[in-house]
Structure 1
Amino acid sequence: MFVKNARLRGRDALHDIHIREGKFYRVAPAAVLAAPEDARVIDAGGRLVIPPLCDPHQHLDATLSVGNPRYNMSGTLLEGIQIWGERKQTLTKEIIKENAIKAIKWEVANGVLRMRTHADATDRSLLTVEALAEVREEMKDLVDLQIVAFPQDCVFTFEGGTDLMDRAMRMGCDVVGGLPYIEFSREDGVADVKFAFDLAEKYGALVDIHCDENTDDQSRFVEVVAREAIVRGMEGRATASHTTAMHNYNNDYAFKLMGVLQRANLNIITNPYPNSVLQNRTDGYPRRRGCTRVDELLAAGVNVCIGHDDLMDPWYPMGKGSMLGAANLLMHTAQLSGYDQIGQLLDMITVNSARTMCLEDYGIEEGNSADFVVLDADTPFDAVRLTCECLYVVRRGKIVCETAPARRELRFGGRTETIDFKL
């Protein structure tokens, strides 16, 4: 394959990309390289060519289950948890796999080739872990998938929770999860975090903990996660997902916390789709925003990325697997409308997520696997503004999805004009 006239972030002028045997062979300024006679040629036409999008936080065991067994009438987190408890009674491996594979295909069509999913590891059958491990193997030619052993019902709220988590790791999970803020007490929550790190050390795994996904300004388990990362030498290998309570912390504490997070090299995943509708439900008015302190975290040098989280499930009934849509939404809810901040939003669904997932072999560099996306936009600004289509999604040098954008013809004054929403 040969891609010509590609606009690459961080590089001047347009570039050509020669791909051979599924890897980036040469990347050079336009017109320097010659396309081999037998190469499939893609003319990017000055459009943005980027590494594949990443979704570092997804729940493929619950995905595409909206309305089954019933709809979430209140739209709240707690009712969503209740519905999931009811749905688990009738789940089969076949249902989990069918929905997970369909959701993966949706995300791939939107440019995602790297994903991390949580799998309920507190169901005694460990059916979800088994199903998603099979999905990971069956879909490996399309997407790289990490699986988190996630204690959906917590670790210490019932007997045998620690054993189930250990079994899930033995079954091949890549990451250890946690749910400290739902445990019975603050003490149990701290034990939840410490247990996750113990298990990660045992299996050489990463850590990704659902942290402070509430509006309680006293829910502060993110500091416990950061502390454990520092004292155990796991800087950069631990992640706190959600951290929506941080939005409500007093500013003095938040300022001190930022320094600890930066020292721990802790990754933060914010999930704008569900958290914009689930959080601060008890505020009345004025109502606070349901996301963490993204702008302050970025300014403090903390790695922040974006997850899709829920996709048409009991907690979030909408979505089509678009990470660009999630970035656009976060631009509004986190007030990231400064020009440079809009570029950071694209980082938060590519390189920042790759860092969170500790990915290697990622990026448009010679020698790396030829995984990339050609966007229907010339700049990061327009990519986010338009939530543009992915014209080509390429996996190991082969096109896995090709999209023809909508064509809009406006007829007015006896003339026909094409509308593309570009200046």
Structure 2
Amino acid sequence: MDLILRNARLADDAPLTDIAIAGGLIVDVSVDGGHSAPEEIDCAGRVVIPGLIESHLHLDKALLDREKPNRDGTLAGAIAVTGELKRDFTAENVRARASQVIEQAIGNGTTAIRAHPDVDPIVGLLGVDVLLGLREDYRGLVDLQIVAFPQEGIFKAPGTLELLREALQRGADVIGGCAYNENSLAECHAHIEAVFDLAEEFGVPADIHADFADDAADPRFALADYIAENTVRRRMAGRVALGHMTSLAGRPVAERRSTLARLADAGVAVVPLPATDLHLGGRSDGENVRRGVAPVRDLWEAGVTCAYSSNNVRNAFTPYGNADLLDIGLLLAQTSHLSGHADLARVLDMATHSAAKVVGISANYGIQPGCAANLVVLSTRCVADVLLDRPDRCFVIKNGRVVATTVRTTRLKEPSHA
């Protein structure tokens, strides 16, 4: 054995467990397997979870808020501000900003990231190329999937389709889409078809920004059914994810249930992005301001695979964040009427096991023999309180090796008795 985690809390209703690791894999999970190793960590009853997964993160656009904020706080404003800033991107500044967030994410217990660098005539393939380099630089610390993402649209920005194909030829792992960012509904449909065509051509999954509005009054923000139809027709069940999907919450109940049933039947996953969605949503509402988050409980009840993610960190789309998925999970719970042990366990699952399904790594993910040894030792000793306690990530383990530690000690002074 290479490493053993002793006295780990995996469940609140089960005894403490030892986790034995060799060759980057978990080889035994038992109360007392009788193993020894040159490196052992006594968890002392602290909770151990699988590595967290950022299933939707824009590393190339991170930390831009210090350069130019989004004054009107709208989605259109965020796209405009970022489009202006992209004109001055260099490989050096994209690499520096992206690296800072990657390292924050690792320290916060993230062991896999699906990143969405922009691909368009403004910035070309700069973001993709930088992230291809970072994928190698951080190999062994975090797994980085790269999505070729057409933020500016495909037909709205001529030349983008050819750039997307080139990005996939260079090594991007996923084809992205921004389904709503075209000038007409017909072009939105053509955008979706083009994304699926590229997915078929290169044999890659699709990850599409869709239905990102307060409601579906504009049909460009009610494309989930069309995407589900394409997923079925192209036989891509389990390989399509949709980010944002905020307009779902504004649709009539019967209509929403019908759409969610289609997504579930088609095997399309949904990834709410609460920090961004709350910030940009409801800007025109003078009263009863809409929350702007996809209806998580409805998604669960419909059987739709769900994850959540940070989306953006400190830029025009989201002017805050630290790439901390447990913070984002607590925000999602607080704003989605989710509470109690069962709900909070499902929210945590959205950043672990469900996120693994979304990014296609569930086959060797988890805490059982044969799984990759990607683990996080938390400072809390109660699984039900993982989100509530905002625990330290005491040890972050990637492929059986400790890659980050957090040690914090709080000492209270003796009370004074005047």
Aligned residues of 2:121 and 2:159 also touching (Cα < 8 A): no
Aligned residues of 1:22 and 1:396 also touching (Cα < 8 A): yes
Counterpart of 1:51 in structure 2 is 50
Counterpart of 1:96 in structure 2 is 94
Matches within 5 A, 1:248-267: 248-267=250-269
Q: CA deviation at 1:368?
A: 2.3
Q: CA deviation at 1:408?
A: 4.5
Does residue 193 of the first structure (1) align with residue 195 of the second (2)?
no
Q: CA deviation at 1:405?
A: 2.8
Name the CA distance, whole Å, in 2 between partners of 1:233 and 1:85: 35
Please report the TM-score for the alignment, with normalisation by the length of structure 1: 0.94
Name the CA distance, whole Å, in 1 between partners of 2:238 and 2:408: 38
Q: Secondary structure at the match of 2:333?
A: helix
Name the CA distance, whole Å, in 1 between partners of 2:383 and 2:283: 33
Structure 1's 11 and 121: CA in aligned 2 closer, same or farther, altered over 3 A?
Answer: farther
Name the CA distance, whole Å, in 2 between partners of 1:409 and 1:283: 46
Name the CA distance, whole Å, in 1 between partners of 2:290 and 2:383: 28
Name the CA distance, whole Å, in 1 between partners of 2:254 and 2:65: 41
Name the CA distance, whole Å, in 2 between partners of 1:186 and 1:391: 49
Q: Deviations over 1:222-259 (max 9, x none)?
A: 11111111111111110111000111011110011121
Q: Secondary structure at the match of 1:257?
A: helix
Counterpart of 1:419 in structure 2 is none
Counterpart of 2:70 in structure 1 is 72
Which letter maps to 1:384? L
Structure 1's 142 and 85: CA in aligned 2 closer, same or farther, altered over 3 A?
Answer: same
Matches within 5 A, 1:26-175: 26-29=28-31, 32-36=32-36, 38-68=37-67, 70-123=68-121, 125-175=124-174
Q: CA deviation at 1:266?
A: 1.0
Name the CA distance, whole Å, in 2 between partners of 1:151 and 1:382: 39
Which letter maps to 1:34? G
Segment of structure 1 superposing worse, 181-190 or 375-384: 375-384
Mark the runs of 5 or more structure 1 residues left unpaired by the alignment.
Answer: 416-423
Aligned residues of 2:151 and 2:181 also touching (Cα < 8 A): no
Q: Structure 1 vs Structure 2: percent identity of aligned residues?
A: 32
Q: Deviations over 1:33-69 (max 9, x none)?
A: 2342x5211111112111100000000110122221x
Aligned residues of 1:193 and 1:225 also touching (Cα < 8 A): yes
Counterpart of 1:389 in structure 2 is 392
Name the CA distance, whole Å, in 1 between partners of 2:291 and 2:62: 25
Q: Deviations over 1:315-358 (max 9, x none)?
A: 21211111000000001111111331011011011001000001
Q: 1:313 aligns with which of 300, 315, 327?
A: 315
Does residue 412 of the first structure (1) align with residue 410 of the second (2)?
no
Aligned residues of 2:47 and 2:377 also touching (Cα < 8 A): yes
- Paired residues, what number? 411
Q: 2:406 aligns with which of 397, 403, 410?
A: 403
Structure 1's 230 and 379: CA in aligned 2 closer, same or farther, altered over 3 A?
Answer: farther
Q: 1:367 aligns with which of 344, 367, 370?
A: 370
Counterpart of 1:421 in structure 2 is none
Name the CA distance, whole Å, in 1 between partners of 2:185 and 2:383: 42
Q: Secondary structure at the match of 2:117?
A: strand
Q: CA deviation at 1:381?
A: 2.7
Counterpart of 1:213 in structure 2 is 212
Aligned residues of 1:53 and 1:323 also touching (Cα < 8 A): yes
Mark the runs of 5 or more structure 2 residues left unpaired by the alignment.
Answer: none
Matches within 5 A, 1:323-342: 323-342=325-344
Name the CA distance, whole Å, in 2 between partners of 1:11 and 1:168: 48
- Structure 1 stretches of at least 4 aligned residues deviating more than 3 Å after TM superposition: none
Aligned residues of 1:65 and 1:312 also touching (Cα < 8 A): yes
Matches within 5 A, 1:242-281: 242-281=244-283
Higher RCO (Cα < 8 Å, 6 or more apart) = 2
Name the CA distance, whole Å, in 2 between partners of 1:366 and 1:98: 37
Please report the TM-score for the alignment, with normalisation by the length of structure 2: 0.95
Which letter maps to 1:297? L
Which letter maps to 1:108? I
Structure 1's 379 and 223: CA in aligned 2 closer, same or farther, altered over 3 A?
Answer: farther
Q: CA deviation at 1:9?
A: 4.1
